[in-house]
Structure 1
Amino acid sequence: MRLDELPDDVIELRARAGDWRQAVRLAGDALVAGGVVTDAYTERMVQVVEEFGAYIVIAPGLALAHARPGPDILHDGLAVVTLDEPVAFGHPHNDPVEVVLALAVTSTEGHVTVLAELANAFNDPTATRAIAQATTPDAVRAVLARTQSES
């Protein structure tokens, strides 16, 4: 999966979320809109946070919502949602979140590969803020392309 080739359907900008559950559901809705997952996957992502806590907030302002591979994942994919107003997930250091990524992969191997790509893309400490301030899907893809090409 090329992060700089995400379709418009999986990118939602300046969304409004009242809390972390709604933020995760917005990201899940973007995956559904992109034909990546079914609605059941969105609820599984929420359950992961309910069960394991805010570990999905992987960097300041950045959450990576996900769940294990399952039949509700149609193919590998990623969604990017930026929030109009940041929301708290309960992470002691990285709250509040302004960018929510939702990751869906069909295999454990795919999970490792995509996480490595994301680690490279977000190794640039300005990437999260640049995506949060993006006003078009092209601007999001440009940040991901820039950070990928530098890694």
Structure 2
Amino acid sequence: MTQYAIFDPEVAYNTTDDKFINNIIALVREGVSFEDFSKFASRSAFSSSEWADYLHVSERTMQRYHKEQKSFDSLQSEKIIEIALLQKRGVEVFGNKSKFQTWLETPCLALGDLEPKSYLDSSFGITLLKDELTRIEYGVLA
């Protein structure tokens, strides 16, 4: 398995073997390249403005990363990977990317009547969304 398997939709969300986890840690430490981020981001339904918000950088910084083909720092890389894993989990729970995307954009009573995607800017928010996906999977709703 390559270090980029995290972005591969064929790799299961709950892959927990040590090699996979170590690859994730190595990728975070090395930094996700803009090229790999771009490939993943193009398959997500988030705009460049939303990605900038989630990664706590300006759109201008994102443009500079693109121009210079720069890698993201470890904190940004970790957030990219957390969102990639959340997307994998969401697709597993909802059955396809389109249904998961609809859920992300629909206000949810259990989340304070906010759109789930509004929580993607923090690790605590991403954890909250993972927990909510588990509740949905097991039919435990708000």
Q: Same fold (TM over 0.5)?
A: no
Which has the larger Rg?
2
